[in-house]
């Protein structure tokens, strides 16, 4: 696929979650239709898409019909089976392609890739059995973090090892294996940078943001990150370099740890729009979702510059939902809900972006409170 997608063309999205929903809304604004493919009925993405398929990712006949009905395929979460994208690739252009998915689905491949792309990472070892865990701890030391290599998100599938007594129970609990052992990083902040890369290789990278988690789930993002300017610039540069090294067509988030001396260590790549980029929906002319659609459709990328400072608050579970009426009534607040039926604890139901004049976040000691969140 070389020419840009014509207005009215259809973008196929694998996955029915909120990231696909917000991508479909951005696509509609640019004149495209979306067809969401997911196993769950009435998913947030399907509610706003022109067409949908409810089928298993392994359903070859459904995948073939989906490929015939769309002009390009993308995915909204990286745990879509690689075999699904591999089955689609001969039938329709897939952006990003299966190679990108394979790197980002496997923490071992991802860590090796980050290092090759020039992003420093904490020491790590692959762990194939219990003896291997003991050996890896011997080399890396404690504390350390033991993680599953696949399907981990929001802190699931990982354990912090503080003493040797923690090794056996953590190994017994975590599966599927193999696992990865990482040195514990004494970070002072977690940041991320979102990069879009177009079909022509052009790059658009948003400002680096600072992320705060609660119960392992992203709670707040501050845009821009309150870190030294060279650190913020380096995070953006790394995100662009990773997008180039992956040959990405689409959007990715690069999550990084910031050490006390400003050094950055890469943690994870998400090869899709990311929760830490939701602030771009209201604080930039073009959101990460629009950039993703532009890239996938072969359109020129948009200017990623920020016209406001922003604090993004995730609305998680029933307590998050309880904030909704107040958020609607708060000046300068842009609230978003994802249309999920059940407000289960720990579930991301929406978010709100509090906009602030440019330059106001820098130096704010407690920006969350000042932003009225
Ligand atoms: P992850 O699923 O790898 O993004 O990890 C979830 C969260 O666990 C991160 O956002 C960090 O807060 C924490 N974490 C992950 N890996 C490490 C590490 N090697 N050292 C310290 N904290 C970590």
Q: What average pLDDT is seen over the chain?
A: 95
In a domain? residue 114: no
* Angle of the 107-116 helix axis to the 98-105 helix axis, nearest 10: 110
Is 20 strand, coil or helix?
helix
My answer on whether 128 and 210 are in the same domain is no
Is 257 strand, coil or helix?
strand
Our mutation pick for probing the ligand 1 site, out of 267, 274, 275, 276, counting the most ligand atoms within 8 A of Cβ, is 267
Q: How far is the CA of 209 from the centre of ligand 1 (A)?
A: 16
| pLDDT greater than 90 at residue 23 | yes
What is the domain-level CATH number for residue 39?
Answer: 3.40.50.20
Query: pLDDT at position 367, please?
Result: 59
> Where among 183, 203, 223 does a domain terminate?
183
> Where among 136, 166, 183 does a domain terminate?
183
Atom of ligand 1 nearest to the CA of 211: 10
Q: How far is the CA of 341 from the centre of ligand 1 (A)?
A: 30
Atom of ligand 1 nearest to the CA of 156: 2
Q: How far is the CA of 99 from the centre of ligand 1 (A)?
A: 24
Render pLDDT for 184-197 as a digit per residue (tens, 0 to 9): 999 999 999 999 99
Query: pLDDT at position 286, please?
Result: 98
My answer on whether 207 and 165 are in the same domain is no
My answer on whether 346 and 292 are in the same domain is yes
38: which 2 tokens? 């997911």
> Where among 183, 200, 223 does a domain terminate?
183
Confidence label for 341 from pLDDT (cuts 50, 70 and 90): confident
Render pLDDT for 249-270 as a digit per residue (tens, 0 to 9): 999 999 999 999 999 999 999 9
- Residues of the domain holding 45: 10-94
- Taking the CA atoms of 62, 30, 275 and 44 in sequence, report the sign of the dihedral they define: negative
What is the domain-level CATH number for residue 127?
Answer: 3.30.1490.20
Q: Are 244 and 269 in contact (CB under 8 A)?
A: no
- What dihedral angle (degrees, nearest 10) is formed by the CA atoms of 246, 249, 250, 252? 10
Q: Residue with the nearest Cα to atom 6 of ligand 1?
A: 155
Confidence label for 336 from pLDDT (cuts 50, 70 and 90): very high
Q: Which residue ranges have their beta carbon within 6 Å of ligand 1?
A: 122, 145, 152, 155, 182, 184-185, 190, 213, 216, 255, 267-268
My answer on whether 218 and 363 are in the same domain is yes
CA distance 72 to 93: 5
pTM above 0.85, yes or no: yes
In a domain? residue 5: no
Atom of ligand 1 nearest to the CA of 157: 2
Atom of ligand 1 nearest to the CA of 122: 19
Is 316 strand, coil or helix?
strand
CA distances from residue 287 to 231, 296, 306 in whole angstroms, order as listed: 23, 14, 10
């Amino acid at each position: 696929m070389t020419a840009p997608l014509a207005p009215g063309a259809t973008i196929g999205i694998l996955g029915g979650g909120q990231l696909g929903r917000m991508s479909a809304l951005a696509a509609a604004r640019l004149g495209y239709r979306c067809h969401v493919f997911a196993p769950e009925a009435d998913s947030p993405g399907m509610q706003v898409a022109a067409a949908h398929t409810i089928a298993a990712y392994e359903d070859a006949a459904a995948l073939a019909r989906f490929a015939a009905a769309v002009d390009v395929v993308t995915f909204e979460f990286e745990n879509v089976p690689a075999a699904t994208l591999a089955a689609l690739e001969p039938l329709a252009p897939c952006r990003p392609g299966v190679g990108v998915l394979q790197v980002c689905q496997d923490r071992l491949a991802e860590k090796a890739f980050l290092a090759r792309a020039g992003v420093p990472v904490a020491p790590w070892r692959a762990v194939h059995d219990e003896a291997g865990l003991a050996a890896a701890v011997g080399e890396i030391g404690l504390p350390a973090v033991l993680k599953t290599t696949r399907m981990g998100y929001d802190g699931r599938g990982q354990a912090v090892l503080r003493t040797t007594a923690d090794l056996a129970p953590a190994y017994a609990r975590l599966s599927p294996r193999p696992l990865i052992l990482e040195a514990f990083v004494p970070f002072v902040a977690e940041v991320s940078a979102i990069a879009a890369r177009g079909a022509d290789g052009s790059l658009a990278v948003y400002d680096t943001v600072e992320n705060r988690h609660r119960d392992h789930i992203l709670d707040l993002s501050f845009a821009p990150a309150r870190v030294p300017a060279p650190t913020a610039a380096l995070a953006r540069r790394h995100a662009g370099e990773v997008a180039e090294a992956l040959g990405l067509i689409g959007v990715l988030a690069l999550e990084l740890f910031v050490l006390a001396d400003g050094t950055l260590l890469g943690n994870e790549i998400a090869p899709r729009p990311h929760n830490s980029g939701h602030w771009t929906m209201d604080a930039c002319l073009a959101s990460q979702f629009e950039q993703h659609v532009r890239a996938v459709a072969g359109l020129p990328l948009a200017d990623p510059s920020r016209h406001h400072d922003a604090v993004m608050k995730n609305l998680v579970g029933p307590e998050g939902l309880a904030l909704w009426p107040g958020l609607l009534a708060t000046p300068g607040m842009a609230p978003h809900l994802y249309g999920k039926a059940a407000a289960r604890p720990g579930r991301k139901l929406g978010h709100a972006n509090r906009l602030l004049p440019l330059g106001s976040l820098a130096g704010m000691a407690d920006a969350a409170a000042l932003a009225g969140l």
